[in-house]
Structure 1
Amino acid sequence: MRIHLDPTAPGPIFARLADALRAAIVDGRIGFGERLPPSRDLAEGLDVNVHTVLRAYRVLRDEGFIELHPGRGATVAKRLGHHTALAGAIHDLVDEARLNGVDEVALLALVREAWR
């Protein structure tokens, strides 16, 4: 599993990490039952504080994406293999927005509005 965090992106690092992991789960790069890297290893690999990783893991736990097992690590708790079409649609949406000059903030506002 390869996770990349854009150092220039806005927002707290833990939230960006949670977003990256959530996206990897939704698009199938990390599958149901798969173990996430130990927090220390991921923190070292991303050059962030271990508490940042733990906070991102707690966010994903609270959302039901992962289960945390003290001393045994974190595993993916949701079966999302059937959402590969959703992942494709999301990528298509982002590509279309970029082609039409719609920035990230505007696109997210449009998605929020459509969600309501």
Structure 2
Amino acid sequence: MLFRIQHDSPVPLGDQIAACVRGAIADGTAAPGERLPPARGLAASLGVNMHTVLRGYGQLRDEGLIELRRGRGAVVTADGAARSRAGLLTALGSVVAEARRLGMADDDILTLVRSALGGGRPTGEGTA
């Protein structure tokens, strides 16, 4: 599995690491039962703190995409539904990263998402 991060990105490094794994799960590159690199080794190869890697792995655990097992490390657990969710999270992450690159505030991003959820109507319009 290939990990690419951008140290100068506004996206936190732990989030970027989690996004790499989510993408691999979504596209089938990382299969259930596959072990992820040990946090210490991955941190050294990426030039980041080990806790940054563990933060990314923790996000993935909380999303149900990996298990963290003492002595065994991080293992992909994603089933079909989790793969779909990983794909959605990857797409959403790309949207948020692009919006931030354009200088949008979080509230503006949320307004756009709410608009999309409402079938393209701005929030509040068309309600009785």
For normalisation by structure 2, the TM-score amounts to 0.65
Q: CA deviation at 1:82?
A: 9.7
Q: CA deviation at 1:33?
A: 1.0
Q: Secondary structure at the match of 1:40?
A: helix
Task: Write out per-residue CA displacement over residues 47-80 of structure 1, whole angstroms, 9 at most, x where no aligned residue.
Answer: 1111111111111001100001011101001124
Letter in 2 for 1:58: G
Correspondence 1:104 to 2:107: no
Alignment root-mean-square deviation, CA? 3.1
Q: Percent identity?
A: 41
2:26 is matched with 26
Aligned partners of 2:64 and 2:82 also within 8 Å: no
> 1:61 & 1:46 partners in 2: Cα distance?
21
1:66 is matched with 66
Q: 1:1-116 counterparts in 2 under 5 A?
A: 1-80=1-80, 104-105=98-99, 112-113=113-114, 114-115=116-117
Aligned partners of 1:28 and 1:80 also within 8 Å: no
> 1:71 & 1:111 partners in 2: Cα distance?
43
Letter in 1 for 2:113: R
What is the total number of aligned residue pairs between the two structures? 103
| 1:79 to 1:13, Cα distance in 2 relative to 1, 3 A | same
> 1:35 & 1:81 partners in 2: Cα distance?
20
Q: Secondary structure at the match of 1:48?
A: coil
For normalisation by structure 1, the TM-score amounts to 0.71
Unaligned stretches of 5+ residues in structure 2: 119-128
Q: CA deviation at 1:43?
A: 0.6
> 1:54 & 1:82 partners in 2: Cα distance?
20
